[in-house]
Structure 1
Amino acid sequence: MNQQINLKKLQDTLLDAVKEFKKICDEENISFFLRGGSVMGAVKYDGFIPWDDDMDIAVPRDDYDRLIEIFNNRKIANKYQILNSKYQPELHCYFPRLFLIEEEREKLGLPSNTHLGLHLIDILPLDGAPNGRFQRNIYFGKVYALRFLASLGTTYVDGHVDMHTPKQKMLINIAKGLLLHKMFPQTKVYRMLDSLYTKYDWKKQNYAGTITASLFKKEVMPVEIWGDGVWHQFETERFLIPTDYDTYLKIMYGENYLSEEPDEKKSHHK
């Protein structure tokens, strides 16, 4: 099976997964936004970025905490499941991820992309941040330090994709040599992150975002950019995206996001 056919099959699976996920969220009154490249896809292509192979969503913290409990040990359409570090520490990821169950993955002939199988959707909390610039920079520093400590607890077993740069790996090895991973077990650091993230209610702050995501502090922006969200077409469905999605995408990807293509089209899959 060639790569193009694989990608079409994978995107069809992603769309089915997010549709089935949304059905349960609607039943449970859980709201969510598309996030990151999924917002780019909605705005620029009315669907997937042509080479994209995963999806990202942002869930307001109150709904996010309920989501973890609601979806724990619950199959979605008998094809998908959500794993989270609170109940499945072997995930080695702060936020939950939606997976295609192994039987379905094998049936579809899709590849794994982690040691736990095929992860399709990242589910990130949408949290507030301090209003003042000085306080916000202190907050960023604390988040960065805790995220670094959390990375020390990740076990790179067969199939676990290592996303760290050579410099990051060097720092991680130094920290492990100092036994910081013993002093700060990953589950403990995740609880510390929870305590820090939940300190600021995104509806009451001037800034909010998904700081636990890959673009770190760039993800935190004036809260009115998120707003209540607007519905936008994504393939055959409609999903909420940030209200001021143009400013959101300019902050995340640059002023010319509509006309420019990224230099590197990365895949999350082998």
Structure 2
Amino acid sequence: MKTNITTRDIQLLELEALIELKKLCDDNGLKFYLRGGSVMGAVKYKGFVPWDDDVDIAVPRKDFEKLIELSQTDWSRKFEIISYHYQEDAGCYFPRVFLKKQFIKEYGVPENNRHGVSVIDILPLDGAPDSNFKQKIYFAHVYFLRIMGSLTTKNLTGHKLHRRILLRFLYLFGIDKKYSQTDIYEKLDRLYSSHSIEDSKFIGTITGSLYTKEIFPKEVWGDGELLDFETEKFLVPTQFDSYLKKLYGDDYLTSEPSDKAKNWKKHIKEVE
């Protein structure tokens, strides 16, 4: 068992999982883009952001649904995909790639989830309404259902103060007892998939942490651009500069967060 695990050790484990997932997708004609901080890493560092310890990908809805089906095949010796579609206690709307439990001790990686060690988040890439008015209604509907999804987790950790207050208020009225977590996730799934990529001018990963900021004109994503990421090449949004400026600011190439912010962003706090 390895001791003194570093962020770099976590990154290499995630890269291994990412390469295996890419092979699964390539073998089945499926497509995915790097998302969020992983795009920043590809553009700015040709790999992981040095202090980042997670990988996010965005999968167009049709491929996303096929990938969920394939997740139940024996696609990897070391990794597995956990999704609420097949595991009722998944605890998250979007699927995640996990290191199988029998390998956790071998790698010596601290668990970061009740299912073990989560290494990749898999988010659907969906369409959104075209008009500003319809988008506002859509965003409000998404926000409400995401709040309801948080309510069913029974865990307020990591939520901002205003959300914690709202969740406690809803608990008082027993709203969490009226719907199961799966009920809420199915409602989210229907809402997200109600606007196809093909028929939409705007698309994005609204289920992501940056919420409405993750919706872009379709041409920003485009067909994707292959960029170096560690030892491999992966797709990023075609207009990756516009993508990163909206998410992280115009100075994303030159600015860096404080040491406190770097540590806050980590998903596994016990590593160096």
Q: Name the TM tier (shorter chain).
A: over 0.9
What residue is the counterpart of 1:31 in the other structure? 31
Question: Superposition pairs for residues 207-226 of structure 1, below 5 Å?
Answer: 207-226=202-221
What residue is the counterpart of 2:145 in the other structure? 146
**CA–CA separation in structure 1 for the residues paired with 2:100 and 2:74:** 9
What residue is the counterpart of 1:67 in the other structure? 67
Q: Per-residue CA shift, 1:1-25, capped at 9, x if unaligned?
A: 43xx522211111111000111111
Q: Per-residue CA shift, 1:195-230, capped at 9, x if unaligned?
A: 111111112211000000000000001110000001
CA contact (8 A) 1:6 1:110 kept: no
What residue is the counterpart of 1:269 in the other structure? 268
Q: Taking structure 1 as the reference length, what is the TM-score of the superposition?
A: 0.94
**CA–CA separation in structure 2 for the residues paired with 1:115 and 1:162:** 14
What residue is the counterpart of 1:250 in the other structure? 245
Secondary structure of the structure 1 residue equivalent to 2:6: helix
Identity of aligned residues (%): 46
Q: Per-residue CA shift, 1:132-177, capped at 9, x if unaligned?
A: 0010111000000010011111144xxxx93212332222121011
Secondary structure of the structure 2 residue equivalent to 1:90: coil
**How far does residue 86 in structure 1 lie from its aligned partner after superposition?**
1.4
Aligned mate of 2:184, from 176, 180, 189: 189
Structure 2 gap ranges (5+): none
What residue is the counterpart of 2:100 in the other structure? 101
Which amino acid letter does the alignment assign opposite residue 97 of structure 1?
R
Aligned mate of 1:234, from 218, 222, 229: 229
Aligned residues: 263
**CA–CA separation in structure 1 for the residues paired with 2:102 and 2:37:** 28
**CA–CA separation in structure 1 for the residues paired with 2:6 and 2:33:** 27
Which amino acid letter does the alignment assign opposite residue 211 of structure 2?
F
Secondary structure of the structure 1 residue equivalent to 2:57: strand
**CA–CA separation in structure 2 for the residues paired with 1:41 and 1:117:** 25
**How far does residue 116 in structure 1 lie from its aligned partner after superposition?**
1.1
Q: Per-residue CA shift, 1:107-130, capped at 9, x if unaligned?
A: 011110111110000000000000
Structure 1 gap ranges (5+): none
What residue is the counterpart of 2:83 in the other structure? 84
**CA–CA separation in structure 1 for the residues paired with 2:235 and 2:196:** 20
Which amino acid letter does the alignment assign opposite residue 187 of structure 1?
T
Which amino acid letter does the alignment assign opposite residue 238 of structure 1?
K
**CA–CA separation in structure 2 for the residues paired with 1:14 and 1:141:** 34
What residue is the counterpart of 2:15 in the other structure? 15
Q: Taking structure 2 as the reference length, what is the TM-score of the superposition?
A: 0.93
Runs of 4 or more, structure 1, over 4 Å off, are none
